[in-house]
Every structure is written in structure tokens, then in C-alpha cells.
């Protein structure tokens, strides 16, 4: 497998060509407008103030306070943040009017506007497809790359089927970074957050994430490609096991993941916790499930993640004959907090079995592992996974991820004007998660049953 970091820049959308006239003279073709330039010109034509005044009235249009001179300037890119903001506002306002106005003049204006939005979406999609094909053909020479539409989610993205020279086929899911472009509505993309990229690599190195690649056209248009979780087995989201999908055989599948934990009753008062704990210790399937959930719980707290274990569609398990189910993360969100270093309050959240994660609302088996189970047992398991599993090398995984993202930033031209800010964010986060690993390990090692009285 080739390394995930081959750095490619977005190429020009249309190259100049030379051709011969019928008379045989060599003539240089006039530069053809790119798809983006065509859309920008179309946008300037559709977003003329006089069209809106004619359809909606001068008073209404003036009240919006738009800079119509900028909107009517065809040289202003459709990617300009001011134009994007106007498109978003117009979409909402015209949508409200469309529920009351059915005359030809307004209908014509509204249809033109919706067509324009579709054209913009197509341009972004075609750009992503071009970057995707060039990236994978570069790192897998001689391969064939087929792109398809992304299913679900609001972020711009696609799927890529890569057929290697050997005939082996790999499927990748590509989407923009968490603050990038959205597929269904106008929004100005923000610069990529290097912390997000680093998390993908840490999860990959610990075994809880999928192989990840990063592609880019600009500092705002950075795409994350992850290998399909079913590449090495049969992957199912936890939503299936927890009954969210309502498919046949879900209960049988769930029990294949958590074994004897199946005996846990949703009504807490009906559970014999000591008997349940005893049955777990004699069941390798239950122990595997318990250790993997505990490992990911510690990772979410250390890396400051959210929308993960709470969301049964953001993780699942890979099943393979002869092996225990392996937990895989397919999506997550970074904490909204700007401070990433954990403290005693965060350790207290772990002892309670909630914190910002609210495991008390989870499926009964997850709730037991991360919330209902005694503090003594949860502390013992958490310390074990941090010191005796792949997480025992978490400091090394963090350093490796840091070096890769650092190299990505420093060796990618589109980041040249943003290196200082990006590296500051990356360094701050790296120092914080190193601290968090040591903090949790230390607190777990020296915790005693009497300490639970403090919380």
C-alpha cells in the first residue's frame, strides 16, 4: 500500500490548445472560459438588480442592502464570499415568495435562480471528480478510477472505485473537510482545520479508523478520502445492531458483537449486575466488545471528539471469519471547545459515565459498558486499554500523525500563505492530546474506590 500523502494540486480546468486552420497556418486558439468563469458570467446576468426590482418591487429589493454593482460584475468569481452569502439569502427569500407567487415573471426569475444553483453545484462536483481521478491515478499508476455520487450527508463529496493493475478493486469515500463546501446549499467554505486531518491519521494508526488520504484544490477545498470499511471484511454500522435500521436479523447480528451482554435488560432494576459482570469475564466475545468500546471512549475523550459513540451511524464493526468483530470509525466531529486540554472535570465526566457524551441515552449494552457498569470496573478496563492494547503506543501514533500532517502542510503549495496559522493550530492540538494521554493514564493509575465519593 502506498503512503497516503501524495500531494497534488488542482489543475487548470481548460488548457489552451493550438490548431491548424484550413489554410494550413498554425493558429493559437483564443483562451476558452473555464466552467467556473462561465458560471460567474451567468451569475452576473441572473443577479441583475433590475430583474429583481421588476419582479418584486424596488422597496423590497432596496431593503435587502445588497451590493448590486458587485453582483452584476461578471469578473467577480462565483466563489467570492460576498456572492455566496447573497446566494444563500436569496434562496431563502425567493423560496418564501414562491409559496405565494405563481405569475410568469416571478416564476421565470425563480427558475433561473434555481438553475444557477444547480450549475454551481455541478462545477464543484466536476472539480472534485477531476481532483479525485488525478490523485488516485498518481498513487496507483495504471489504475482505473470511476467516480460516483456520494450518498447521504450535507458535505460535498463522491465515491471512487479504483481498479488496480492487479485487478484488485478498492472503494474510497471522499468528502470535503468538516467546514468545507456543502452539497445542497450555498455556503462559504472555511480553511481546513489541520486538527481534523491529524485525527483521521491517529484513528488510522490505532486501528480504529480507515486508511485516509487528503486531496486539495485550495486551502478551503480540501477533501478527505477514506478506504471503505468493508475492505477487509463485512462492515455494518452499529445502527443495525442497535435496532435503528429495523432490518431482519438485527438481533442475531447484535448478539454476534456483544455476546453475553445480550442478557442486559433495558429496565435497569431488573438487572443483576454482579451476575452480568461474571458472565462477561467468561465470554471472549463480550470482552472484545467491552474493550473496543472502552478504547474508543478513551480516544473520544483524549482527542476531544463528539458525535461518535452517541451516533450509531458514525461507527460500526467489521466482521471476518475466524476473528472477533473490529470496531471502525467512519465519521466524527471535533469538539466545539477551543481549549483541548482536559482537566479534573473531564475525568469526573468519565467517572460518571457521561460528560458531554450522554451514554445514559445509548443502547442498553453500550450504556452498560460506558455508564451503568461500576466505576471500579470501568476504571480498570480504561487503564488496561490505555496501557496494554494499541493505545499503549498512542504517544507514538500522535507523533507520527503530527509529522505527516506537518509535511502535508509544508509541502503543499495551496497552503503557502497559511502555513503560520495552520502550524500554530496543529502544534497547539498536538501538545494538548499528548497532555490528555498522560493525564488520563495518570488519573486512572492512581484512582481508588474511595475517590468516587469526590464526584
pLDDT of residue 123: 86
Predicted confidence (pLDDT) at residue 114 exceeds the cutoff of 50: yes
Q: Tell me: the pLDDT tens digits for 345-391?
A: 999 999 999 877 788 888 999 999 999 999 999 999 999 999 999 99
Predicted confidence (pLDDT) at residue 4 exceeds the cutoff of 50: no
| Position 190 confidence tier, pLDDT thresholds 50, 70, 90 | confident
For the stretch 405-414, contacts whose Cβ atoms lie closer than 8 Å and that sit 24 or more positions apart, written own/partner, are 405/194, 405/197, 405/198, 405/201, 407/5, 408/5, 408/7, 408/197, 408/214, 409/194, 411/7, 412/7, 412/9, 412/216, 413/9, 414/9, 414/10, 414/216, 414/217, 414/218, 414/219
Which residues is 147 bridged to in the sheet? 160
| Position 455 confidence tier, pLDDT thresholds 50, 70, 90 | very low
Helix (H, G, I), strand (E, B) or coil at 288: helix
Rounded average pLDDT over 322-345: 91
Pairing of strands 234-237, 326-329: unpaired
Pairing of strands 333-334, 305-306: antiparallel
Alpha carbon distance 100, 85 (integer Å)? 24
pLDDT of residue 143: 96
Of the two residues 349 and 121, the one the predictor is more confident about is 349
**Contact partners, residue 99, CB within 8 Å, separation at least 6:** none
Element (H, E) at 27: strand 26-28
Predicted confidence (pLDDT) at residue 187 exceeds the cutoff of 70: no
Helix (H, G, I), strand (E, B) or coil at 158: strand
pLDDT of residue 362: 87
Highest-confidence segment of 254-268, 270-284, 380-394: 380-394
| Position 248 confidence tier, pLDDT thresholds 50, 70, 90 | low
Q: Tell me: the pLDDT tens digits for 125-136?
A: 888 899 999 999
Phi and psi torsions of 231, nearest 5°: -60, -30
Which residues is 341 bridged to in the sheet? none
Could you report how far apart the first and last alpha carbons of the chain are, in Å? 47
Predicted confidence (pLDDT) at residue 452 exceeds the cutoff of 80: no
Q: Tell me: the pLDDT tens digits for 308-320?
A: 998 999 999 999 9
Residue 452, Cβ neighbours under 10 Å: how many? 15
Percentage of residues of the chain with pLDDT beyond 90: 66
Alpha carbon distance 293, 232 (integer Å)? 20
Highest-confidence segment of 5-9, 207-211, 346-350: 207-211
Of the two residues 361 and 101, the one the predictor is more confident about is 101
Alpha carbon distance 419, 64 (integer Å)? 38
Give the position of cell 460576498.
Answer: 82
Helix (H, G, I), strand (E, B) or coil at 326: strand
pLDDT of residue 29: 54
User: Closest Cα partner for 177 from 397, 405, 338?
Assistant: 405
Predicted confidence (pLDDT) at residue 57 exceeds the cutoff of 50: yes
Alpha carbon distance 157, 143 (integer Å)? 21
Longest dimension (CA), the chain: 95
| Position 23 confidence tier, pLDDT thresholds 50, 70, 90 | very low
Mean pLDDT of the chain: 87
Phi and psi torsions of 214, nearest 5°: -125, 130
pLDDT of residue 185: 52
Highest-confidence segment of 138-152, 178-192, 367-381: 367-381
pLDDT of residue 360: 84
Helix (H, G, I), strand (E, B) or coil at 176: strand
Element (H, E) at 224: strand 222-227
CB of 263 within 8 A of CB of 274? no
Alpha carbon distance 185, 23 (integer Å)? 50
Burial (CB count within 10 angstroms: exposed 0-12, middle 13-18, buried 19+), residue 13: middle
Alpha carbon distance 408, 419 (integer Å)? 11
- Pick the range with the lowest mean pLDDT from 113-117, 246-250, 273-277: 246-250
Alpha carbon distance 433, 301 (integer Å)? 10
Q: What is the CA radius of gyration of the chain?
A: 26
Burial (CB count within 10 angstroms: exposed 0-12, middle 13-18, buried 19+), residue 126: middle
DSSP 412: -
Alpha carbon distance 1, 223 (integer Å)? 20
Helical H segments across 13-158, by residue range? 35-46, 49-56, 58-64, 68-71, 81-98, 104-139
Predicted confidence (pLDDT) at residue 333 exceeds the cutoff of 70: yes
pLDDT of residue 48: 94
pLDDT of residue 337: 72
pLDDT of residue 21: 40
Helix (H, G, I), strand (E, B) or coil at 72: coil
Element (H, E) at 442: helix 419-445
CB of 241 within 8 A of CB of 257? yes
Amino acid at each position: 500500500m502506498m503512503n497516503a500523502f501524495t500531494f497534488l494540486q488542482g489543475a487548470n480546468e481548460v488548457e489552451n490548445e493550438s490548431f491548424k486552420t484550413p489554410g494550413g497556418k498554425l493558429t493559437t486558439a483564443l483562451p476558452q472560459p473555464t466552467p467556473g468563469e462561465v458560471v460567474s458570467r451567468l451569475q452576473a446576468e441572473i443577479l441583475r438588480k433590475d430583474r429583481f426590482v421588476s419582479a418584486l418591487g424596488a422597496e423590497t429589493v432596496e431593503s435587502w442592502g445588497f451590493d448590486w454593482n458587485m453582483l452584476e460584475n461578471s469578473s467577480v468569481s462565483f466563489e467570492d464570499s460576498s456572492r455566496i452569502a447573497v446566494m444563500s439569502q436569496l434562496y431563502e427569500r425567493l423560496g418564501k415568495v414562491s409559496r405565494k407567487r405563481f405569475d410568469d415573471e416571478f416564476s421565470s426569475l425563480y427558475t433561473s435562480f434555481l438553475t444557477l444553483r444547480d450549475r454551481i453545484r455541478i462545477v464543484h462536483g466536476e472539480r472534485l471528480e477531476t481532483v479525485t481521478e488525478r490523485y488516485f491515478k498518481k498513487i496507483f499508476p495504471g489504475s482505473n478510477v470511476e467516480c460516483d455520487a456520494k450518498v447521504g450527508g450535507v458535505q460535498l463529496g463522491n465515491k471512487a472505485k479504483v481498479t488496480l493493475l492487479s485487478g484488485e478493486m478498492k472503494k474510497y469515500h471522499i468528502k470535503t473537510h468538516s467546514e468545507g463546501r456543502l452539497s445542497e446549499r450555498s455556503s462559504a467554505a472555511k480553511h481546513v482545520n489541520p486538527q481534523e486531518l491529524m485525527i483521521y491519521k491517529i484513528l488510522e494508526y490505532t486501528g480504529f479508523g480507515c486508511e485516509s488520504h487528503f486531496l486539495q484544490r485550495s486551502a478551503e477545498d480540501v477533501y478527505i478520502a477514506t478506504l471503505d470499511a468493508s475492505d477487509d471484511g463485512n462492515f455494518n454500522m452499529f445502527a443495525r445492531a442497535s435496532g435503528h435500521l429495523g432490518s431482519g436479523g438485527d438481533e442475531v447480528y447484535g448478539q454476534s458483537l456483544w455476546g453475553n451482554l445480550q442478557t442486559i435488560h433495558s429496565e435497569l432494576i431488573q438487572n443483576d449486575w454482579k451476575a452480568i459482570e461474571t458472565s462477561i469475564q467468561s465470554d471472549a466475545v463480550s470482552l472484545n466488545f467491552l474493550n473496543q468500546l472502552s478504547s474508543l471512549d478513551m480516544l473520544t475523550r483524549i482527542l476531544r471528539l463528539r458525535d461518535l459513540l452517541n451516533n450509531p451511524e458514525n461507527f460500526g464493526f467489521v466482521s471476518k471469519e475466524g476473528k472477533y468483530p473490529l470496531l471502525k470509525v467512519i465519521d466524527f466531529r471535533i469538539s466545539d471547545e477551543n481549549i483541548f486540554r482536559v482537566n479534573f472535570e473531564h475525568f469526573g465526566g468519565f467517572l460518571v459515565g457521561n460528560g458531554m457524551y450522554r451514554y445514559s441515552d445509548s443502547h442498553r449494552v453500550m450504556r452498560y459498558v460506558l455508564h451503568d457498569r461500576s466505576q471500579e470496573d470501568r476504571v480498570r478496563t480504561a487503564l488496561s486499554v490505555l496501557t496494554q492494547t494499541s493505545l499503549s503506543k498512542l504517544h507514538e501514533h500522535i507523533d507520527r500523525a503530527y509529522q505527516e500532517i506537518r509535511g502535508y502542510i509544508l509541502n503543499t503549495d495551496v497552503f503557502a500563505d497559511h502555513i503560520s496559522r495552520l502550524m500554530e493550530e496543529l502544534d497547539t492540538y498536538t501538545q494538548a492530546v499528548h497532555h490528555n494521554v498522560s493525564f488520563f493514564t495518570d488519573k486512572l493509575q492512581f484512582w481508588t474506590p474511595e475517590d468516587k465519593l469526590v464526584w
